């Protein structure tokens, strides 16, 4: 039986072949993710290392690569040294499915749809606010937060906090109305229903981006004097805290709010 050389045998187990991302597309991916010197950019399946090296060179970020092919790992390490960014770029020879992603603030991907689907839950469970940017492929049924096209499609997702469940609010709104909402969530898409001052209430214009949530509700306690209430808050586990602006323009008043998750799903 014909035996393949060791490396060729290994290669058939790689999930995706090496096809490099053009530099203009890399620059667009890093721009779309808003990469700065504070970021750690991790490329999953890093090929010749061009993404982490570009992140370090153009944005002063830390670059991490995860690559299974030892020849590409050696090539990328030499590339980082030649580019003068060896102190900020590290390439790990590892299976991307086993990599520790917790250090990354930005994850870049140029993989295949099947692999993206397999990564979806792992990426969704990363720290809220982590940005994910992909060249060409979507993350299964997780809708992107932004899509751009500079020669190729690039997609951005911001990992949302988990907000599904029953929340009880305290506010400094006049009269301290009671407010309880049940939030439903599919990735960053949220809606909510509940009770405000004893009446049925609904969330409007809800937006979730990382650990930030904004939404509006209608204060209908006095039907002659209704006003929208614009909530913004930061989610931290089972607590959300922020401000609510009641009304607009000269009539606007600003109040504080705090919500506590009282049940993960409606009992």
Ligand X SMILES: C[S@@+](CC[C@H](N)C(=O)[O-])C[C@H]1O[C@@H](n2cnc3c(N)ncnc32)[C@H](O)[C@@H]1O
Nearest residue to ligand X by CB is 45
Token pair for 261: 């998750």
Min CB(127)–ligand X separation in Å: 22
135 burial (CB, 10 Å; 0-12 / 13-18 / 19+) is buried
Output 134 or 171, the one with its CB closest to ligand X: 134
Nearest to 173 by CA among 123, 246, 232: 246
How far is residue 183's CA from residue 196's CA, in Å, rounded to a whole number? 14
Structure tokens at 149: 């096209």
Question: Which is nearer to ligand X, 47 or 233 (by Cβ)?
Answer: 47
Give 116 or 235: the residue with its C-beta nearer to ligand X.
Answer: 116
Rounded to whole angstroms, the Cα distance separating 162 from 180 reads 17
H-state helical runs in the chain = 6-11, 23-32, 50-59, 70-82, 113-124
Q: Which is nearer to ligand X, 56 or 96 (CB)?
A: 96
**How near is the Cβ of 47 to ligand X at its closest, in Å?**
3
Smallest gap from Cβ 75 to ligand X, in A, equals 10
Query: Which residues have C-beta within 8 Å of that of residue 164, sequence separation ≥ 6?
Result: 183, 184, 185, 264, 265
Site residues for ligand X per CB under 6 A:
14-16, 18-21, 43, 45-47, 50-51, 66-69, 72, 95-97, 110, 135
Whichever of 114 and 174 has its CB closer to ligand X, that residue is 114
| Nearest residue to 244 (alpha-carbon basis) of 214, 199, 221, 220 | 214
Shortest distance (Å) from residue 145 CB to ligand X: 20
CB of 83 to ligand X, least distance (A): 15
């Amino acid at each position: 039986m014909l035996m393949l050389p060791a490396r060729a045998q290994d290669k058939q187990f790689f999930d995706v072949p090496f096809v490099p991302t053009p530099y203009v597309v890399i620059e667009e991916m890093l721009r779309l993710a808003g990469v700065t010197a504070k970021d750690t950019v991790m490329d999953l399946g890093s090929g010749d290392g061009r993404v982490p090296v570009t992140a370090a060179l153009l944005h002063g970020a830390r670059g991490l690569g995860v690559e299974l092919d030892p020849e590409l790992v050696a090539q990328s390490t030499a590339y980082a040294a030649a580019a003068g960014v060896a102190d900020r770029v590290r390439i790990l020879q590892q299976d991307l499915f086993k990599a520790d992603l917790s250090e990354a603030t930005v994850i870049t991907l140029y993989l295949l749809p099947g692999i993206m689907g397999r990564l979806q839950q792992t990426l969704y469970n990363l720290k809220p606010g982590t940005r994910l940017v992909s060249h060409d492929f979507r993350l299964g049924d997780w809708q992107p937060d932004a899509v751009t096209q500079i020669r190729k499609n690039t997609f951005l997702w911001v990992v949302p906090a988990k907000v599904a469940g029953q929340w009880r609010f305290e506010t400094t709104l006049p009269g301290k109305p009671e407010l309880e909402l049940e939030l439903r969530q599919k990735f960053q898409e949220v809606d909510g229903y509940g009770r405000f001052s004893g009446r049925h209430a609904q969330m409007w214009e809800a937006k979730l981006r990382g650990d930030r949530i904004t939404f509006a509700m209608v204060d209908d306690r006095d039907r002659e004097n209704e006003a929208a209430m614009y909530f913004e808050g930061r989610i931290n586990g089972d607590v959300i805290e922020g401000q609510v602006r009641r009304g607009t323009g000269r009539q606007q008043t600003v109040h504080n709010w705090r919500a506590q998750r009282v049940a993960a799903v409606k009992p």
